Structure 1
């Protein structure tokens, strides 16, 4: 491990906080509040899980990708050989960002360090990074940050609080035990200093960023993570940056948005999320197939229709969709995923008005679909309904007009004490999303 002057910046900021818990009394800056609104308006982003684990392609197991070190019990000395095989010569930051824009996405969240402890940027604190340990020898995070600024895409940094590699991540959590070869000793405070030092690098060396996307705290949920110190560090270095944590519990003071993993807010099909939905901006993260990182054997690709439905359902629940791709070890995105993103972009080009800048509509999510709303414009997204009439209830608002969004033709309707009855002829139904635009009085 290399320790250098970057820690001086860290400690000067850490002295500003002596909180051992969350950032109690946190008051977001005006810039932060504006960025929260931007985030809610953006609605759609790309998640990128990429690291040296991609070289193994899941090891032939369709259920394994970025967790291969843990799931295959690979000791550190063996895993440390992987960086010498990681040479993504086909990585093209400009092409990635163009792909994101063409898909209708507004931001990127990328793994700067995953649970394996390997940094995908030029860390000066640790030489276990892409510049010092791979034949590629380039800082892909820097290239991506520069390209995002050129093309007006915001960049968020995923950072794993969990670390299977660092010797001071001790006591061990639920994972990373019994196979890594680490000594059963360590200095927890030294690890937190290391983590905050890397965060300082990311927040001072790569320009303004959208925020920090934390993961892994669930590994040691009862540990003293000293969140107040870490969160104040981030908010001091970049007051506008948003903080979110994938800890699967009610947000802590100091966090600026809440995320849900592989689940729509409130559904909790995974059993991880709990039932609490905060008043913070919301985000759902979803795999485009069945894996977060690159998996050679994972052919469980979601169709463009399924992906559009998840985007619409997220928006109808006041949440963004953060759609994940796992790049191949050569730096390219799988062709199947590029095609799906292009199809989503084509749909958004026609229907984005009903998604961007909207909030959850006054009509609650139902089995047939959801609603989104922008001022007096209410959009009903009918995703799964095979009958010729739909009764929306309750519906007590007065309406000025009801039209099909696609061609602005009138929708035959009746509004009474039972609700809003809509006639939807077969020739007006869309195979993906039949959108009805209601202008409220």
Structure 2
């Protein structure tokens, strides 16, 4: 590319102007544009310095936790609560305009007697997930753990009389799986969630409330979650989008989390650009920056680890009529494209109200685990590769090794742009058969073998002589 200043200097002055005016105007324009370029350069450098300083100000324990998260790549999301009894998804209280008093009665009948935390974690292990994120409290305001902040919780309000999150935490710790708590900032039950947001109006709550008291209630529950359940991976927030302009006092809440557990990550699902104190940028039902869902930000952080949350069918909570389950091939594609974007995949299941998990979920998780047992080296611990995700697939990388994930490419030759380093060797991950490569000044061509019926992703391992790609957590 040419020097921008050379191009500016060559720009012609206005036609018909006197020579001295033409010279003065041309020189003035050049000086102004040069000044603008200098300012832009300083601004860019200042932004980079600010980012570096922001990272430097994050304690080492949190930075290590972010790196662990970026390496994990695969998590299991669990939406489970009183709403599961109605079999119509987690928004049923809002969608069917159920009054608070009626929903409170429904909660008195919740008795998931077949819940088995050890069995849930064993399923997660077979699936190859590295962490679990479970709803501690959803928008319905019902707490799925023993809490002193309200009697409206599973241990005090229901015949179950147990704390399933405590049992799950014990099972996760024994298995070496990180546990994150989903926590809804939106509450359709609490009277102090006032003024109301954009959902669940006219459900029997009083038309008044004390916002500061509500914030204190949330922080009291967060304190319990971070002090009674051992090591916690982080808090996964949701619902701030219901009242995005409310005085949430996030500095106080985030500071509380990081003080109680310095390695706990703050994962906010607010659909906005990341804010100070947040550790992960997550995208709901979307790949980073794509905004195909229509409510996520298109901004993608270059400094934070990334995550994509996804339903396995079309619902988060148990939905007895939703049989539109994604195929294993489709789910592998989501996992690969998420990793190719430098993101984790947080894949959701909605257990039944009795605490068991539908076979549609378990079969797909077992199949993903079998796939990862063979191809996990191309997913776990990787960062986004030198070629951004395309229609045919994606690339991931670890050090000098690039993994080319061919998801959908019918031709025997796959052309790629330059990988940024010379290729030493290339081979199939499964079977390790050599893959012919042609390198030119304009790119690389790989010989792609035909796909077999049981192979949703043909992974080609490309070992290079070095890479200049970023090592930041989100990339």
TM-score, structure 1 length as denominator? 0.91
User: How far apart are residue 365 of structure 1 and its match?
Assistant: 1.3
> 1:17-32 residue pairs with structure 2 within 5 A?
27-32=57-62
The question of whether the paired residues in 1 share the 8 Å contact of 2:451 and 2:458 is answered with no
Which residue number in structure 2 is paired with residue 113 of structure 1? 137
1:245 aligns with 2:275: no
The question of whether the paired residues in 1 share the 8 Å contact of 2:114 and 2:355 is answered with yes
- C-alpha distance in 2 between matches for 1:343 and 1:396: 34
Which residue number in structure 2 is paired with residue 73 of structure 1? 97
CA offsets 1:188-218 (integer angstroms, 9 cap, x no match): 1110001111111111111110000000000
The question of whether the paired residues in 1 share the 8 Å contact of 2:310 and 2:348 is answered with yes
CA offsets 1:102-136 (integer angstroms, 9 cap, x no match): 10001100000000000000011100000111111
CA offsets 1:145-182 (integer angstroms, 9 cap, x no match): 0111111110000000000100000000001212x111
How many pairs were matched up? 411
Of 21, 40, 43, which aligns to 2:70?
40
- C-alpha distance in 1 between matches for 2:150 and 2:341: 41
CA offsets 1:359-416 (integer angstroms, 9 cap, x no match): 0011221111100100111100000100111111134421100111111111112100
- C-alpha distance in 1 between matches for 2:413 and 2:328: 26
- C-alpha distance in 1 between matches for 2:171 and 2:134: 14
> 1:191-202 residue pairs with structure 2 within 5 A?
191-202=214-225
- C-alpha distance in 1 between matches for 2:421 and 2:375: 24
- C-alpha distance in 2 between matches for 1:136 and 1:83: 11
- C-alpha distance in 2 between matches for 1:428 and 1:244: 38
Which residue number in structure 1 is paired with residue 397 of structure 2? 373
Which residue number in structure 1 is paired with residue 280 of structure 2? 257
> 1:285-300 residue pairs with structure 2 within 5 A?
285-300=309-324
CA offsets 1:26-51 (integer angstroms, 9 cap, x no match): 93221111111111111001000000
Q: CA RMSD in A?
A: 1.4
> 1:293-372 residue pairs with structure 2 within 5 A?
293-372=317-396
- C-alpha distance in 2 between matches for 1:274 and 1:427: 36
Which residue number in structure 2 is paired with residue 413 of structure 1? 437
Of 146, 163, 166, which aligns to 1:122?
146
Quick one: higher RCO (CA 8 Å, sep 6+), 1 or 2?
A: 1
Which residue number in structure 1 is paired with residue 418 of structure 2? 394
The question of whether the paired residues in 1 share the 8 Å contact of 2:425 and 2:464 is answered with yes
The question of whether the paired residues in 2 share the 8 Å contact of 1:104 and 1:348 is answered with yes
Name the CA shift for 1:291/1:428 in 2 (closer, same or farther; >3 Å): closer
- C-alpha distance in 2 between matches for 1:333 and 1:106: 19
Which residue number in structure 2 is paired with residue 98 of structure 1? 122
User: How far apart are residue 319 of structure 1 and its match?
Assistant: 0.3
SS of aligned partner of 1:331: coil
SS of aligned partner of 2:252: helix
User: How far apart are residue 429 of structure 1 and its match?
Assistant: 8.7
Name the CA shift for 1:305/1:170 in 2 (closer, same or farther; >3 Å): same
CA offsets 1:46-73 (integer angstroms, 9 cap, x no match): 0000000000001xxxxxx100000100
The runs of 5 or more residues in structure 2 that have no matched partner are 1-52, 466-475
1:272 aligns with 2:272: no
The question of whether the paired residues in 1 share the 8 Å contact of 2:386 and 2:420 is answered with no
Structure 1 moving runs of 4+ over 3 Å: 24-27, 427-431
Name the CA shift for 1:133/1:429 in 2 (closer, same or farther; >3 Å): closer
Of 150, 164, 182, which aligns to 2:174?
150
- C-alpha distance in 1 between matches for 2:449 and 2:192: 65
The runs of 5 or more residues in structure 1 that have no matched partner are 1-23, 59-64
User: How far apart are residue 417 of structure 1 and its match?
Assistant: 1.6
